[in-house]
Structure 1
Amino acid sequence: MPPDASYSFSKLIVHDLEKMAAFYRDVYGLHAVNRVRGQNIGGEEIDEIMVSADPNAEYGSLVLLKYLGRGPSPSGELILGFTTDDLPALLERVRAAGGGVHAPIKEIPEMKLRVAFATDPEGHLAELVQMLP
């Protein structure tokens, strides 16, 4: 019997919601497709932006969430994964948009890929993968 639930989305807790939405748009091409304001989780008010690679999507598989009554959260609670055809160019976009390189490009020939790790402006980690021919 198949499970009655399937993976749908992840939420990344951020502090500067607008800045982070712009970063993920500029670097990874993710479009803001929906926004939720005035709701709460366990009594804490939130503001969130849903982002998707498809600009016409109703919902996003990544949700940027800000708790309005909290300060910045520590990073490291989640590692996002992105694939690309041009890893050096993607890392340059990360730097240009205010992010950083956490670990430089490393080739893993046995897996036929190159990998690097980057951070967004708030320090959240992303694993960036380029498949090799």
Structure 2
Amino acid sequence: MTPNSFFHVALKANDLDATAAFYADAFDGTIIERGSADDGEGATAVEHVALEVADKRVYVFDRAPYEATGDVEPMPTGVLHFGFVVDDVVAAREAIDADHPGVDWVMGPDRFGDLRIAFLLDPDGTIVELIEHVE
């Protein structure tokens, strides 16, 4: 399975506005999106701020989508995961499962707005997201 691109890093913060302001100020980031937990359910019931920093995104969450669904216990602040864009999340999952039997899938595939996403653990427990842009 070959991803199309590296898309983002996701962070968990105690104060979304302060963390977003830091990345905007220190790294010349631009806030491109804000989301409210009140506007979603399940994986989308999270507060978040998305920033464009250089040519990638930094997402700042109050909790991860997989925390919101109850798929994992609450996680500490800091780096949550990173994400790769793929053409088809289901096909990517099947390819990974075929090449790496026993991979632990944390969540998905699930819809997250205009995305289909899935999360897996690498051998050291790092969470990796697969992202498919859908309409």
TM-score, with normalisation over the residues of structure 1? Answer: 0.38
TM-score (norm 2): 0.37
Look at both structures and tell me which one has the larger radius of gyration over its CA atoms. Answer: 1
Identify the structure with bigger relative contact order (alpha carbons < 8 Å, sequence gap 6+).
Answer: 2
